[in-house]
Amino acid sequence: MPTSTWRRSRTCHPCSYNVFEAARQANVRKIIYASTNHVSGWREVLGESPITPNLPVRPDSLYGVGKAFGEALGQFYSDRYEVSVICLRIGTFTEDPQARNSEDRILRTWCSPRDLAQLVARSLEVKNLGFQIFYGISGNTRRFWDIGNAQELLGYRPQDNAEVLLKAE
């Protein structure tokens, strides 16, 4: 997806709008938006660390631009309609150990199925957070995305670490 064309990426706009608007019309009080780390991916290219969710967006691709639009839409719906919106900037989501072992970046950005399930469950359980952005990654030793706000506000406690898992295999 990071290499998507504008034509393909712009489909995010009406899809995201339709989801937020349908939820509002149905009086849904919480939306969990599956965003992406590519919303802030240019910060990674520049070597910034830690990358926190409260920094301004800096997309690394048109796909990231499309997802940044979805996050901005979430902020708007939260402010305007008092809907709780939680955006999860999901990292590298794979269960395949070979895929995790293929490059150093994956050791930093990996999110295990178990940890993502916990993050989503805690996002659903928490009350009255308004608008929030959390990075969806495991407790990787050399991660550069900050998960401190997810730990503090959601009680998120990652169970997995890509490097520990690879050493055990």
83, 23 contact by CB (below 8 A): yes
Alpha-carbon distances of 151 from 107, 113, 139, rounded to whole Å = 20, 17, 11
* Gyration radius from the chain CA atoms: 16
156 annotated active-site = no
First to last CA, the chain: 29
Which among 33, 63, 77, 156 is annotated as catalytic?
63
Report the C-alpha gap between 157 and 81 in whole angstroms.
31
Report the C-alpha gap between 153 and 122 in whole angstroms.
9
Q: Would you name the residues annotated as active-site residues? A: 63
